[in-house]
Structure formats: structure tokens, C-alpha cells
Amino acid sequence: MKTKIIIENTNDNFVFDESFWHTRAEVIFSNTFELVQNASHLTEYQNLEFNFGLTFCTDSEIHEINKEYRKIDKPTDVITFALFFDDDIKTIIENEAELGDIIISTETAEKQAGGNNLTLEQELTVLLTHGVLHLLGFDHMTEDDYNFVIDIQKQVFDRIFC
């Protein structure tokens, strides 16, 4: 599975290894795609190179994004701006598809990690997997959809950490 990932960190207090997170994002994407590739909306796109952005940010930054785009006046853990699978017009240029962007608040992730008995790395892995699922066109508007997303997240987590 070919992916091109652009990573940005706008949180000066979050020290991260870009190479590590680039590799982790590739592993998450390939595992997630493998687990869901038989979904009807994905089968014809299996041979594409997928591109997406990943931004680590602060609570105040994601709060503003959440307020502006989702009309929710509080920070959240992850926001995904899906392009390719959320649009009827799917642009493919030279066998590449631009999926969109995943934005993760490292501050919220750190708070949640403790509550979930996870390390920050593990929590960020869960949130990144969640974002990848949204980029691939999966949401959680119904209970069945929610259970599907949670199941895929758990399977990817287990593949990486077990």
C-alpha cells in the first residue's frame, strides 16, 4: 500500500519524532485499509497511492477548528477533513488520491490516555486510526457503524501493540 503523508506539529510543547510518526501513520493506514478493503466503496481504489496530512496541535487550536467547522464550542481529540470518500467527485491524478487531513490535539490525547490506561503513543495511535477510518469513508452515525469503527480500531491497535 502506497501512502504519502505530510506531518506537521503546531504544538511547541509536544516533542515528537517525525520519522517515528510517519512510519506509524503508514502502518496504521496499511493495516486499516487491509481490514476494510472489501468494503464496496474501496474495492476499485486498491491500487492507488493515498495521500493525507496529519497535524498535531493544541487544545486551543482544535477548539477553534471545532467551533468554526462543526459549530461545537469546545476542544476535541481528533477532527478529520475527508476529501476523497466524502465527495461524489473523486479526483485521481497520476494514480494518486488526496484523502484529506487528520488533526489531533495532543493535549486532549494526553488527558484521555491517562483515563484510558494508555500511554500517549497508544492514545495517539487510536486517534490516528479513527481519523484514517474517516478518511476512508467510515463514520459512526449509527450504533452498528460505531461498533464497526471501534472494532477496526481495536484490531489495528492489537496488531501494533500485541
User: Can you give the pLDDT at residue 38?
Assistant: 80
Confidence at residue 40, expressed as pLDDT on a 0 to 100 scale: 75
**Residues near 105 by Cβ (< 8 Å), separated by ≥ 6?**
57, 58, 59, 61, 62, 75, 76, 77, 78
Q: How confident is the model at residue 133, as a pLDDT?
A: 97
| Residue 11 φ/ψ region, left for φ over 0, alpha for ψ in the -120 to 50 degree band, beta for the rest | beta
Specify the pLDDT at position 122: 98
Mean pLDDT (whole number) for 109-131: 97
SS3 category, 152: helix
Residue 86's pLDDT is: 82
Domain with 125 in it: 2-161
**How many Cβ atoms are within 10 Å of 30's Cβ, its own excluded?**
17
Q: Which residues pair with 80 in a beta bridge?
A: 102
pLDDT tens-digit map of 82-116: 999 887 778 899 999 999 999 999 999 999 999 99
C-alpha cell at 160: 501494533
pLDDT band at 135 (very low <50, low <70, confident <90, very high): very high
> For 22-77, how does the pLDDT look when each residue is reduced to its tens digit (9 = 90+)?
999 999 999 999 999 887 788 889 899 999 999 999 999 999 999 999 999 999 99
94: domain CATH number is 3.40.390.30
Q: How many domains does the chain have?
A: 1
Q: Give the Cα separation of 43 and 23 in Å (integer).
A: 24
pLDDT confidence of residue 91: 86
Of 118 and 85, more confident: 118
Would you state the cell numbers that stand for residue 76, as one nine-digit string? Answer: 476535541
The residue among 147, 158, 148, 28 whose CA lies nearest residue 99 is: 28
Q: Which residue has the cell 510517519?
A: 22
> Which phi and psi (to 5°) does residue 97 adopt?
-120, 130
**C-alpha cell recorded at residue 7:** 506531518
pLDDT at position 130, please?
97
